Structure 1
Amino acid sequence: MHTNYYFLRQLAPALDLQLAGLRFVECFSQDRDEVVLVFAQAKGRLNYYKPFYIKATLRPDFSGLLFPERVQRARTNSIDLFEEVINPVRAHEQDQLASNVAEEVTANRPGRAVVGVRFFLNERCLAILLEDQYTLLFKFFGNRPNLLAFHGNAVIELFNQKLASDQQLVLDAFDRPIDQSWEAFVQAGFEYRKLFPTFGRVVNEWISQQKAGLEEKIGPHEEWEIIQQTLQRLEQPRYYLTRLDHRPTLSLVPIGDIQREFDDSIEAANRFFISYNGLNVFEREKGDLLRLLEKRRKRAESLIEVNLQRMIDREEGASHEEIGHILMANLHDIPKGPGAKSPETVTLVDFYRDQPITIRLKPDLSPQKNAENYYRKAKNEKLEADYLTAQVTAREEEIIRLDQQKADLEAIQTLKELRRYTKQHNLLGDQPGKGINEDGTIQLFKEVTVDNFRILIGRNARNNDLLTQKYAYKDDLWLHARDVAGSHVIIKHQAGKPFPKNVIERAAELAAWYSKRRTDSLCPVIVTPKKFVRKPKGLAEGQVIVEKESSILVVPKE
């Protein structure tokens, strides 16, 4: 997308020069996600010359600006927008003029004059300022882009009416000052992304490449120098039309497979817009599949690393069986609390390694019962060890398979062959929804279907509340990873049908995956009908109280 904050910073002054001396004379839409703005030296409402066009595409999956030489407006299926902003007749003039006179004045007014173009500090927005304190603001927030009209500080009209919360936005609140000094970098624990949230995916990838290109491991000062050099590039850039992650990208840094370079931001925006939207169905689907395979490969590599570290930790530390033996051999040395209970921790001699060992105990159990508890855990250790070994082997085999599938996809040249291969190898598989419905609307929740049962997954704490409180009914099944933060998961009830065991297990795997226990070997998951879940006043977002529950032990799985 070319709605990157740093690109908008460069685009604003370029547009300011283009729009100087022009008026906002027309605005219309011929497509649900597209709006055209016309600026010109106007003689009258519909009598103007030297027009400058801005075509904005504002889809959840793509937002951008095009500045075409001309736009042919269709005679049908187009609608005028932002009439109040275009019409310069003041309210008090309307009161003073008879209706027929007011219409004549309106028809001959030349549209509101452009006062300037501005960006907003650390925010992906671009505003065209008009006379009489009117403002047109392009908002490029993730999958919620929109065009808003302000009068003063207040919203008076939206292009996308479905984004109702945009009505509450305040123009003066868009600037977002952030301390981006060295001192703030230190205070943030040398996590530069906290200071520069507007860098985005491309710039962060560039910084990673610069760090990786150095021969030695760098420290905070060297990383800070790279960040400052990157900022200089972003403030005085060239523009690169490149291919990154198998799709056209407009970058302010030289990265990826560079196709063209530009000095002019408007020309760069046009070329990128045309390149991105000019992709055919085959190119889009092939790029999506290649990105999906690469994402799965990175996940497999990460899981191998996690599981190998767990295996190393297990070998270096005492096993549960050994801890049980150590406790039983030292029962007389463990201090007794009230009722012959145990302390929370005890330090004893590990006679296997001839060194001290600190053992965690459950205070409500006696030392002997604690030893028995460790013996019970030991029975699962062999299973867990076998599981970890199997996981590493499976992920290694998965990487080999993914690499082969990627090579196969690269060689495919037709859409028919691509779709046949995708189906034969089940590349899309049992994946949660991407957040966008086929009609372009945004899905509220991640969704998976198993044996015709719908499984809904909350996206964050607020979304969890929405799912549990508004979209779940008493007979739905509610799941959540035990004792950790994570997504609420709902299996929708079907009248007269019990919940199949395999559906419950699949939903539990998802609840485990979308939680802080994602990397655990096994995860306990709460399962209960929604009617036993309530949210008293005063609880934080996403927090609930479960009054009756059972649990299931599963392997976290996406």
Structure 2
Amino acid sequence: MSQPPNDVSERRTQLTRVLKKQHARLARKVEGLKRDLAEAELASELRRAGETLLTYVKQVPPRATEVTLPDPSNQEHNLSIVLDPMVSAQVNAARYFKRAAKAERGLKEVPPRLRAVEADVHALAVLLARVAALEEGASDNALIDDGALDGDLESALASLSEMQRGGLVPKRVRAQTDANDAGSAAARAAKPKPLPGALLGKGRERVPARLMPRRLKTREGWDVLIGRSNEGNDYVTHHLARSEDYWFHVHGSPGSHVVLRRGKGANEPSKATIDEVSAWAAFYSQARTAGKVPVIVTRKKYVRKPRKGPPGLAVCTNEKTVIVRPVEPPRESLADFVEPDQAEPEQ
């Protein structure tokens, strides 16, 4: 039984308020980690300061607040080193070595932490932007129903700690099976009947039909998989796609995850095929009515799901952007569903 419109609107407002606070917290954390990284990048300078103090320990005046000494690795270059006048040169050197060791650890530990938190910030920013876009499209007294968005908000809330939730209790949300389906009535009429379920790899677990993607063939014969929902996008990207497959997604708008299967070997799709699949990715998105659309293209190995991100969210690196006009795939490109065990999902 669906909730009354006023209840849905109030719940969405409550969720948005909590997630905005979490976004601000994470943004502050990003700034803190960037400061830590800046300190970490000084590791070599800190170690050189410690080594210089020990090399010229007898030349350091007592109670000095700063000393200028020759660089042991380049005698023509001097180093100015700040000191604590209350301790000896040896103790100051030990402190520099300690800071250098901490900075060296930071060079290994901070970057992955920073990338993870930045991904979380981006995930929340995208989610909050979807809320803002929905509100802008609503009239003063109207509520636009978006079950997929509300489900993603609930999922984001569930990923927070009890303290971060601000007293809100996550609700169980039925998965939206067509959240990113941007196909026309003609495409829906032409699509093959979904399988009731399929085996996952060589195991016994059955994959729900709602996760199964569209399967298409390009003019040059390349297999293409297109997610039908947020959960289906996760399945296509993180279970069916191989690391060297090409991954497509419209830039800056919600849309389907699209995967071009490369198969095995050094075979590469042509530019015409990349453009063709990019146009399909633009069509299966909320930007399908735009004239020209930027589409991200990268290898699947550069795509990952943000920690605690909602279903269907992904971040990528090493991408290039293709500008295309959205094109609905022709009827002859539609193929039967692929069994996941035939698709050789990565384990």
Q: Which of the pair has the greater relative contact order for Cα pairs under 8 Å at 6+ separation?
A: 2
Higher strand share: 1
TM-score > 0.5, shorter chain as reference: no
Q: Of the two, which has the highest radius of gyration?
A: 1
- TM-score, structure 1 length as denominator? 0.24
